[in-house]
Structure 1
């Protein structure tokens, strides 16, 4: 669709959505069941999500300046409380009369890609939402429409037993026998780690960083590092006095990250303690305490992002840049002309800021800026049409944004040029389903797995209906479909990254079969080749990561949880590594 840069397409961004077949919370395969973490607050009425489900008319609508407008809801000016982010963990809705999964066991979440649940009050809220997207179709005068919801042989394995660990890297026997009966052609489980104990209310285990030597993982109050080949500890765990509340998803070129942890355990505790860590040595670098912002600009919850030599701390209505090497404060990004309050940041190759502007007025809108990471000054500003909210950044280089319109119950994916002007909008009649993370009191722009972009193409997974899903390649110049490839198995396939020539994707495990890592040629033919076939002996554990972060680096595949449910009688899973 070709539109003026600051105008929505004819008929509006996106298409109206409908509830899934069978209604919200329809029964699922019991083999896929995984208990969700306990909600922090009593459930609230459902809010509109990533295309589906959408807000229902009637008593659930909450008009007015203090409404919860949806998972990517606008931050209404200085009196706003930040809105929750895009769905995680993918927890079943708690509608009246809907069954609630019992606590305990299970291998996978039965509600993956299903309706959302908003839990919370003005200052403490969690949003849980599935990952289904309904794409627009057509162009010109045609109105958009919604996509319908619709040679191994046994061999003995004589490899070294898997090191399960206990979260501290102590190792031990292999009680799971994950490589027992490994078939020809299957990769090995290189090592498996169990999580540290967590409180009954649960705990975060955010991100995962892979270096040339170590796989590093944050969990609750600690950061662990394991040798990529054998899982032995590369350095002693780093412990913090309080729980970890934010981390930089990115690392620097010399393997530095920044971790934030809470100031205490009271209800008034802030996420304001920063600590730099060298992933190569496990040594702590500089530390700092984040200053509070102005009225209503809180550090109760923050976001961290890293671009070049700058780490950005995002509060509810402002941001601060620090030199990642020294901890020196570089700049503040605060309210600017037009009553615009920066509410979210995305890092990586470029630094992107999203602001809520003129809240409560007839000119209420979002704005996107690219910032100079050294100075915080805007290189360009893109005004988003009224009624549209920037929900996700699928990519920062090029800038690919996912937007939602609560009132019209539609969505849109827009790509911007290097000067911030509109390059294209996705124009594909399809239901897409990247897996997206959660946010607590923040707009998590970069929490999606399965949405990948290179210089000219966006790759998105379709929703699985009755068989394998597909990965669709979409031109960033036109928004049109270029090609699509079906998953090589009955399970869904998620794009992970590009390597310059090929698209790397993860095929999820079945109940009794391991997952796969595959390479898809982006040139002519789009042939799919298998890089790793994970062993069936570990399928139950692999499929049990109901909220996860995954990566494929140097021929090894890593999967780790992002949430500890806590209070279980058995050790929880933390991390699993595969290789040949």
Structure 2
């Protein structure tokens, strides 16, 4: 991971300028070192649960078949009848019931440890190099994940399969959030093999698994065709951002909201959530897209409400938080974290000191998508910004550092147990929630800290007996919902088909 020196440079920004119009965009940037010693790759904080769950105990993936055409799609079961995406309890040949394995792990539980609520194997025949895992999205008592050509909905309580939808085409992009009424729009490929292009959209109802509208959008020009897709949902608008433009559609019916905007500055992605914060790129004479902006826009119209011009040569890497607005910037191996006020004016820049910071984001680990709001290792609220340091020592552990919003200076540090790391997820109920990784003979879990710091307190302690299962998940996403934690790897890939089917795709813990 590239790192910069520990000197603190002038904030990489210039005063905000009035905007005459435009839209916004959102993408996922690569890892890097934050200027001033702060490594910033982080989770979108203060914007709700960051869900990441897959599969359910004993159930697997494609059952229902989807017939998708422009503007329409339907789901039907294997027997030819349509039922909105699959029947409860449907399973696929070769599925493995993992309740016995969960029971064995629970039999070894120690006092104070949570239960393994359910487990799920991969269970899907994947292409040679495996598949990224998308989602999850949670609505009501259903948790939904996507993998390869399938979206599947599971019971949050027991992991049983509620529905499964065969998309016929490979998933290639997805927003980190669904709409408030339980709809999601995912990106799917058209064409096959080397001719496949991520240029189609499919809306799905998370409650029923019913496929809604389906449509293609145009990708043209070198910049557009070569760029990865960034998706977001803001209200009833889904945006599809690329290097050269963003197209926006209504989630409810697929109608066009806006497309390419006037001028040489175009959005390349949005942060999902109630407030639409965008990153835009301005084409220069050198055609290098290095002049960039941060904008707040109206997702229903594309109208720009304010624009902040980033200092030339710096690029918008991620939005770590929308409220407060915390932005990751990068420039040739350097990395800075900047805060803006609600009106888009400069607020502060974090002063990293001698610490190095680290986070994990989807695009560091998976092959598809460039969303900017799916990171683990940072959170923010009205009290501060919280970052994880890089693990060090013979028994590698780390710290969580809190920074003042107005000065950017560190306020306090909290230390993880030896051999484990703490990664901020979000702030809830006035407390910072963090994922404590599993160590050798040490279970992971969910820990918390008050805004004043102190010693981390366990909210949910995962059983030591399941530490190996937990450690085997590839850089898992962590979800926390109503006293339950869900862990899902960002990618499933094995040495052969059977290995991929056996790999754990989801682990759920709770009391």
Whole-angstrom CA distance in 1 between matches of 2:368 and 2:426: 28
Aligned position for 1:376? 302
Select the structure that is richer in helix.
2
Aligned position for 2:15? none
Confirm or deny that 1:418 pairs with 2:342.
Answer: yes
Greater displacement, 545-554 / 438-447: 438-447
Once the two structures are superposed, the pairs formed by residues 391-410 of structure 1 within 5 Å of their partners are 391-406=317-332, 409-410=333-334
Once the two structures are superposed, the pairs formed by residues 436-447 of structure 1 within 5 Å of their partners are 436-438=361-363, 443-447=370-374
Select the structure that is richer in strand.
2
Whole-angstrom CA distance in 2 between matches of 1:239 and 1:566: 22
Structure 1, residues 212-239: CA drift from partner, whole Å, max 9, x if none? 31221111111112211111112x2111
Figure out how many residues of one structure are paired with residues of the other and give that number: 435
Provide closer, same or farther for how the CA distance between residues 330 and 86 of structure 1 changes in structure 2, counting only shifts above 3 A. closer
Whole-angstrom CA distance in 2 between matches of 1:308 and 1:489: 43
Aligned position for 1:25? none
Deviation at 1:316, TM superposition (A): 3.1
Aligned position for 2:154? 226
Deviation at 1:345, TM superposition (A): 2.5
Whole-angstrom CA distance in 2 between matches of 1:374 and 1:252: 14
The structure 1 residue matched to 2:57, chosen from 154, 163, 172, is 163
Deviation at 1:509, TM superposition (A): 0.3
Greater displacement, 351-360 / 390-399: 351-360
The structure 2 residue matched to 1:347, chosen from 248, 265, 272, is 272
The structure 2 residue matched to 1:483, chosen from 390, 393, 412, is 412
The structure 1 residue matched to 2:451, chosen from 522, 535, 539, is 522
The structure 2 residue matched to 1:183, chosen from 91, 110, 117, is 110
TM-score (norm 1): 0.70
Aligned position for 1:315? 242
Aligned position for 1:62? none
Q: Which has the higher contact order (CA 8 A, sep 6+)?
A: 2
**Unaligned stretches of 5+ residues in structure 2:** 1-6, 13-26, 41-55, 63-89
Deviation at 1:443, TM superposition (A): 4.3
Confirm or deny that 1:578 pairs with 2:472.
Answer: no
Q: Is the 8 A contact 1:365 1:384 kept in 2?
A: yes
Structure 1, residues 11-51: CA drift from partner, whole Å, max 9, x if none? 4559xxxxxxxxxxxxxxxxxxxxxxxxxxxxxxxxxxxxx
Once the two structures are superposed, the pairs formed by residues 461-540 of structure 1 within 5 Å of their partners are 461-466=388-393, 467-523=396-452, 526-540=454-468
Deviation at 1:529, TM superposition (A): 2.1
Aligned position for 1:541? 469
Aligned position for 1:390? 316
Deviation at 1:517, TM superposition (A): 0.7
Whole-angstrom CA distance in 2 between matches of 1:331 and 1:357: 18
Query: 3-state DSSP class of the match of 1:411?
Result: strand
Deviation at 1:297, TM superposition (A): 2.4
Deviation at 1:492, TM superposition (A): 0.5
Query: 3-state DSSP class of the match of 2:224?
Result: coil
Whole-angstrom CA distance in 1 between matches of 2:334 and 2:407: 20
Whole-angstrom CA distance in 1 between matches of 2:443 and 2:58: 18
Deviation at 1:300, TM superposition (A): 7.0
Q: Is the 8 A contact 1:355 1:368 kept in 2?
A: yes
Whole-angstrom CA distance in 2 between matches of 1:345 and 1:513: 38
Greater displacement, 506-515 / 347-356: 347-356
Aligned position for 2:382? 455
Q: Is the 8 A contact 2:8 2:35 kept in 1?
A: no
Once the two structures are superposed, the pairs formed by residues 292-371 of structure 1 within 5 Å of their partners are 292-293=219-220, 296-298=223-225, 301-334=228-261, 336-337=262-263, 339-361=264-286, 364-371=290-297
Provide closer, same or farther for how the CA distance between residues 545 and 447 of structure 1 changes in structure 2, counting only shifts above 3 A. same
Structure 1, residues 520-579: CA drift from partner, whole Å, max 9, x if none? 1124x6453211111122211111112321111100000112212255232222111111
Q: Is the 8 A contact 1:450 1:460 kept in 2?
A: yes
Q: Is the 8 A contact 1:202 1:567 kept in 2?
A: no
Q: Is the 8 A contact 1:309 1:323 kept in 2?
A: yes
Alignment root-mean-square deviation, CA: 2.9
TM-score (norm 2): 0.78
Confirm or deny that 1:561 pairs with 2:489.
Answer: yes
Q: Is the 8 A contact 2:249 2:258 kept in 1?
A: yes
**Unaligned stretches of 5+ residues in structure 1:** 1-8, 15-83, 88-130, 138-144, 148-161
Structure 1, residues 199-256: CA drift from partner, whole Å, max 9, x if none? 112212122122331221111111112211111112x211111111111211122221
Whole-angstrom CA distance in 2 between matches of 1:381 and 1:173: 52
Deviation at 1:175, TM superposition (A): 5.7
**Regions of 4+ moved over 6 Å:** none
Q: Is the 8 A contact 2:11 2:338 kept in 1?
A: no
